[in-house]
């Protein structure tokens, strides 16, 4: 896929219906809803990236959550994972506020764009490998558009790491063989791009103590420094 701008890509991605299982699930959730959001109209479409088109830092997640981004239409917005991520982004100085509740809430990102390997909410938060591959072209196109300014990438979780490395290799970044393994705090230099690993900001990781806000901030502080954002 070739696009002239991030705006053009975003406009196209929201109409994608390539994965029947994901289309059925995202639309079913929008009808069934969660009781707390019964009066809301769910987005129920693929979720585009969020952040400026000339970002020097990218945050790579996994996929939208059923009642978070699938409801609000914005990455990591309206769910516990976003509560942690945006608080950390605010602490390191690239988010205008520490909360992200809905589109139009005033949140803005400085030099940072959040993207996802899978753009639709999957059942049980688990996309299949086939769904990841089908969605891969959107990630590749977005990274191609970001390439002129991109200096650092923070990957949240092993799924995103596994999805991202082949895309970077195909785009021409020098990914070593064997490919580097994911781990929290791992840093890998790929020519002019620095890759950072961070445990996913999932509610489970935070509640079990596997990941703390300080741990997220430490990784983001290192990445924003490389990206020239602090």
pLDDT single digits (tens) 37-92: 999 999 999 999 999 999 999 999 999 999 999 999 999 999 999 999 999 999 99
169-177, long-range: CB < 8 A, 24+ apart: 170/140, 171/140, 171/143, 171/144, 171/147
pTM comes to 0.96
Residue 214 has pLDDT above 80, yes or no: yes
Give the pLDDT band (50/70/90) at residue 141.
very high
User: Which residues contact residue 214 at a Cβ distance below 8 angstroms, ignoring those fewer than 6 apart?
Assistant: none
Rounded average pLDDT over 142-156: 97
> Which CATH architecture fits 6-227?
3-Layer(aba) Sandwich (3.40)
pLDDT at residue 58 in the model: 98
Distances (CA, A) of 131 to 75, 127, 128: 18, 6, 5
Task: Look at residue 28 in the predicted model and tell me its pLDDT.
Answer: 97
Pair of tokens at residue 135: 């969605």
- Whether the pLDDT of residue 230 is over 90: the answer is no
Mean pLDDT of 144-173: 95
pLDDT tens digit sequence for 165-196 = 999 998 889 999 999 999 999 999 999 999 99
Task: Give the H/E segment covering residue 82.
Answer: helix 80-91
Q: How far apart are CA 103 and CA 222, in angstroms?
A: 28
Please state, in angstroms and rounded to a whole number, the distance separating the CA atoms of residues 13 and 114: 15
Rounded to an integer, what distance in angstroms lies between the CA atom of residue 174 and that of residue 133? 21
Asked if 171 and 144 count as a contact pair (C-beta separation under 8 A), the reply is yes
Measure the CA–CA gap between 174 and 164, rounded to whole angstroms: 13
Position 88 scores a pLDDT of: 98
Please check the confidence at residue 1 and state whether its pLDDT lies above 80.
Answer: no
Which of the four pLDDT bands, split at 50, 70 and 90, describes residue 138? very high
Chain-centre distance of CA 154, in angstroms?
9
Query: What are 4-19's pLDDT values in tens digits?
Result: 999 999 999 999 999 9
Task: Quickly tell me which residue has 């803005």 as its tokens.
Answer: 108
- What residue ranges do the domains of the chain occupy? 6-227
Tens of pLDDT along 120-136?
999 999 999 999 999 99
Res. 24 pLDDT band, cuts 50 70 90: very high
pLDDT in tens, 78-93: 999 999 999 999 999 9
**Ranges of H-type helices in 92-179:** 129-146, 158-170
66-to-111, 122, 159, 202, 216 alpha-carbon distances in Å = 27, 7, 18, 13, 23
């Amino acid at each position: 896929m070739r696009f002239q701008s991030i705006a053009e890509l975003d406009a196209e991605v929201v109409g994608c219906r390539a994965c029947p299982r994901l289309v059925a699930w995202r639309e079913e959730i929008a009808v069934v809803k969660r009781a707390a959001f019964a009066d809301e109209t769910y987005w129920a479409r693929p979720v585009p990236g969020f952040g400026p088109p000339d970002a020097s830092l990218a945050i790579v997640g996994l996929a939208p959550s059923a009642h978070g981004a699938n409801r609000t239409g914005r990455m990591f917005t309206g769910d516990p994972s976003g509560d942690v991520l945006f608080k950390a982004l605010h602490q390191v100085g690239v988010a205008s506020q520490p909360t992200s509740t809905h589109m139009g809430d005033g949140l803005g990102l400085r030099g940072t764009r959040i993207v996802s390997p899978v753009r639709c909410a999957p059942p049980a938060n688990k996309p299949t490998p086939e769904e990841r591959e089908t969605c891969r072209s959107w990630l590749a196109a977005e990274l191609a558009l970001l390439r002129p300014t991109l200096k650092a990438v923070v990957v949240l979780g092993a799924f995103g790491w596994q999805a991202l490395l082949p895309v970077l290799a195909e785009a021409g970044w020098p990914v070593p063989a064997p490919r580097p393994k994911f781990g929290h705090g791992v840093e890998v230099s790929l020519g002019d791009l620095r890759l950072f690993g961070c445990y996913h900001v999932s509610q489970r990781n935070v509640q079990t103590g596997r990941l703390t806000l300080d741990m997220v901030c430490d990784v983001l502080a290192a990445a924003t420094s490389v990206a020239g954002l602090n």
